[in-house]
Amino acid sequence: MASMPAKKPRSLHEEFLAVPRHLVAEIIHGELRTHPRPASPHARASSKLGMRLGPAFDDGEGGPGGWLLLDEPELHLQGSILVPDLAGWRRERMPEMPVAPFFELAPDWICEVLSPSTEAEDRADKMPIYVAAGVGHAWLVDPIARTLEAFRRDGDSWRLVGAWRDYARVRVEPFDAMELELGALWAR
């Protein structure tokens, strides 16, 4: 009886590419991690934040412009594949958006919208990768607790710039040229 040849195990990258589209897939510290698409409070906060920042900073309508902002870009940083909820590059560093399925140039700003199932991963696993890759600013938005925490890279660590909650009206770097009404992020 002839034996069947052993099936070659899939590489981590092949496993990543095979993840069903209804899941978010990331490779963090050499480990494939998947989770379902976010629930509505998460998606709503992310969408509303992008709608608030986009016109003034990406389009330059009523604001300074100078940014390229994207929802859920795939980032290849420090040997990991990460998908932040929002990311932005200053146009002086990325004058035009490349036609590519992923980005290797670290963004200048990322935003992770926290979910109960991913908060620990966002804070403890992804934030160190972002700072090591040279991301200058990070925001953590929690739509359940209704908070925004903003961080600035300080060498090889993060410095908390501030934390706000509920319906505060704030100016937060790197987008402090515009006042942001946090209540708009929690609107139903």
Cα-Cα-Cα-Cα dihedral of 45, 157, 107, 50, to 10°?
10
Spell out the residues 6+ positions from residue 145 whose beta carbon is closer than 8 angstroms to its own. 165
pLDDT at position 3:
61
Query: From edge to edge, which strands make up the β-sheet containing 75-77?
Result: 31-36, 23-28, 80-82, 75-77
Burial 45-66 (b: 16+ CB within 10 A, else e): bbbbbbebbbebbbeeeebeee
Domain spans, the chain: 38-186
What would the mean pLDDT of 68-73 be, rounded to a whole number?
A: 96
Mean pLDDT of 177-187: 94
Q: What is the pLDDT of residue 96?
A: 92
Residue 34, pLDDT score: 92
- The domain 38-186 having CATH identifier 3.20.20.370: the answer here is no
Average pLDDT across the chain, whole number: 93
Distance CA 157, CA 165 (A): 24
Residue 86 in this model has a pLDDT that exceeds 60: yes
How would you classify residue 166: left for phi > 0, otherwise alpha for psi between -120 and 50, otherwise beta? left
Q: What is the pLDDT of residue 1?
A: 54
| Secondary structure of 25-55 in HEC code, one letter for each residue | EEEECCEEEEEECCCHHHHHHHHHHHHHHHH
Question: Whole-angstrom Cα distance, residue 140 to residue 123?
Answer: 8
pLDDT at 39 exceeding the cut of 90: no
Does residue 138 have a pLDDT over 80?
A: yes
Query: Given this model, what pLDDT does residue 133 score?
Result: 98
Amino acid at 167: Y
| Per-residue pLDDT, 62 | 86
Beta strands in 75-144 (DSSP E): 75-77, 80-82, 86-90, 109-113, 137-142
Question: Which sign does the torsion angle of CA 33, 174, 132, 159 carry?
Answer: negative
Confidence at residue 63, expressed as pLDDT on a 0 to 100 scale? 87
- Give the model's confidence band at 2: pLDDT under 50 very low, under 70 low, under 90 confident, else very high: low
Q: Tell me phi and psi for residue 58, to 5 degrees.
A: -90, -50
What is the b/e burial string over 27-37, where b = at least 16 CB atoms within 10 angstroms of the residue's CB?
Answer: bbeeeebeeee
pLDDT band with cut points at 50, 70 and 90 for residue 22: confident
